[in-house]
Each structure stands twice: as structure tokens, then as C-alpha cells.
Amino acid sequence: MLRLLRAAAAIATALALATCGTTTPAPQSIATGAGHAAGPVPVPRGGALVGAWVRPDSLTQPGRLAAVRDFEQRLGRRLDVVNTYRRLHEDIGTVSDRQFRDAGATLMLSWTGADSAEVLSGQHDEVIRERARQVRDLGAPVLLRLRWEMDRPNLVVEVGAPHEFVAAWRRTRELFAAEGAINAAWVWCPTVEGFAAGRAPDYYPGDDQVDWTCVDAYAGSTLTPMADLLKPFLTWAATHPRPIMIGEYGVSRAWSPTQRATWLTDAEAVFAANPQIRATLYFESDPDDRQPSGRFSLRDDPLPLAALRTATLSRRS
């Protein structure tokens, strides 16, 4: 298990990486262009990190911890990455954040950030700096998935035009750097639909700004295979030498257990066949007020859960 990477209080402070034990492969950085590596979150030598967002029954600190523990028991393994969602004004470094960290998981913060125009005006500088200090003070590598799915048409009022989003991303990174939050690995994560439509690449901040490229991919109303969902994204990502993360993926309860299990098994084959994919995070959630097509939890559906368990147990991480 990887030891925690301790972040310093200033940009110039070096980061130390170490490993413990003898059974876990040592991490490696993926060369990603001139002078750039994959960021502070180590990348496994082989296979892909296993992660999830696990929606708790109770949105409390104990509820978050219990939900992840229960899902890990069902999977038969620990999660390498625990995804959690935060709005701009919600604190980072909560009790559950720190307990996940202490248990050896990497925390992924899916953070909404703020309206792009407001970020560029400086309206939120202090709260962004405060969040940066909270990330820094975690003292461990953190995946920061800033305003994920920014390419969705329903977010255009908040996100603005692509050039506004890119400028806001860059400003946010500058504020984090100014606070010494160099333990944050920056994850850029649109949707597969945005790549299929050709709009997602316009929101890319640049190879000098992104540590992990990412995409969210769901089976949808036609049970589209993962290979077909990912094809436009993987074609684009092949020209950007970054490790790839599947930030959210899922197959809904609209499909039979056998169909769900088959889709998950096929998805794992796609992940294994693409060595640039170094992390995949299941969306283990049944949001309130959703029809079966919007419910993705596997916990009480034994056949697809077994398919995910088989897939994730076979990985090296």
C-alpha cells in the first residue's frame, strides 16, 4: 500500500513518495510531455486503479464511511480511489475524507468550483484559496476533478463558453499553486456524449494544465457497449499523453441482471485492452426520484455485482 505523499507549505517544497510492503507494484509516472509527469497521484505499473462513488443511505460522515466499507466488503477488496462530491462552499478535509485517506485510499474530489465568469472576476478568490489550503493540509495526494461534465449543454450558463472555462480552470490552478496545494492532481472530465458530438475537446485547458484525462460513460437507454461509448474519446486521448480515468461509469436497473453483468464484463475487457486507462470508478448510486434508467447501484443485484467483483479482483493496483 502506498504511503501518503506529504505536501509542503510552499510550491518549492519537494514531494516524497514511498511504498510499503512487498506485494504491491511500485508506482510509476507516465511521461506526459516536456517536463511534465502524471501529477502527484502515483500510477500503477500495470492494470488500473479501482474506485467508486458510493452513495450512502445517510449523507453524514458516519454514513459515508459505512457505505464505502459495505461496498468494499461486497467487492472483496479495498477501493484504491474514493470519489466524493463537493460544492464550492463545502469544506474539504472532513472526518470521512481523512479516514478514507488514513485507510490508504486516494480521495477524488469532484468539485463544482464556481461560475467561470465569477472566477475570472476574482469574486471567489478567497473561498478558492481556502479550499486550496484544505487540500494542501490533507497532506496526501488528491485527485481534483474540477467542474466535471463541463460540456453538458445544461451547464452552459454556469460554465460559459469553452474559452471562459479554460481561463477559469487556469486561474483556479494558479490560486491552488499560490497556497502550496501541490498535492492536487488535476482531472479533466467531460462526457462521452460531448466527444461523440465533437464539443468536448474545446473545453480542454491544455497538456500543461491537466494531469489525468477523464470521461464519464454510461450504458444509456440503448445499452451501448463501452467500446462504442469510448471510441471518440480514446481517439482524442491517444494524442494527449496522460493517464486516463473513467470518472463515472454505470449500467442502469432498466436492464436485466444478465444484461448488466454482460455489459460490465465487456467494459472490463475494454479497459484491459487500453493500457492508457489507469483508473475506473463505478457510480454506485441510486439517486432519489429517478426511474430505473437513472439507478445504477449493484449492491442488491447479485449477478452484475459478481461481474464487477470478478473484474476488479483480477486487476493489479
**CATH assignment of the domain containing 165:** 3.20.20.80
Is 26 part of a structural domain of the chain? no
Q: Which amino acid is at 203?
A: Y
Residue-level pLDDT at 229: 98
Q: Which amino acid is at 43?
A: V
Is 291 part of a structural domain of the chain? yes
Is 267 part of a structural domain of the chain? yes
Is 68 part of a structural domain of the chain? yes
Residue-level pLDDT at 274: 96
Residue-level pLDDT at 145: 98
Rounded CA separation 27/41 (Å): 9
Residue-level pLDDT at 287: 84
Residue-level pLDDT at 46: 83
Is 99 part of a structural domain of the chain? yes
Domain that holds residue 206: 49-313
Residue-level pLDDT at 316: 54
Is 15 part of a structural domain of the chain? no
CA-based nearest residue to 267, from 214, 217, 195, 212: 217
Cα 118 → chain centroid: 25
Contacts of 294 (CB under 8 A, 6+ apart): 252, 287
Q: Would you give per-residue pLDDT tens digits along the chain (317 residues)?
A: 333 333 333 323 333 323 232 222 233 334 333 334 568 999 988 889 999 999 999 989 999 999 999 999 999 999 999 999 999 999 999 999 999 999 999 999 999 999 999 999 999 999 999 999 999 999 999 999 999 999 999 999 999 999 999 999 999 999 999 999 999 999 999 999 999 999 999 999 999 999 999 999 999 999 999 999 999 999 999 999 999 999 999 999 999 999 999 999 999 999 999 999 999 999 999 988 788 999 999 999 999 999 999 999 987 54
Is 238 part of a structural domain of the chain? yes
Number of domains, the chain = 1
Is 32 part of a structural domain of the chain? no
Q: Which amino acid is at 14?
A: A
CA-based nearest residue to 50, from 25, 83, 3, 22: 83
Residue-level pLDDT at 16: 31
Residue-level pLDDT at 38: 63
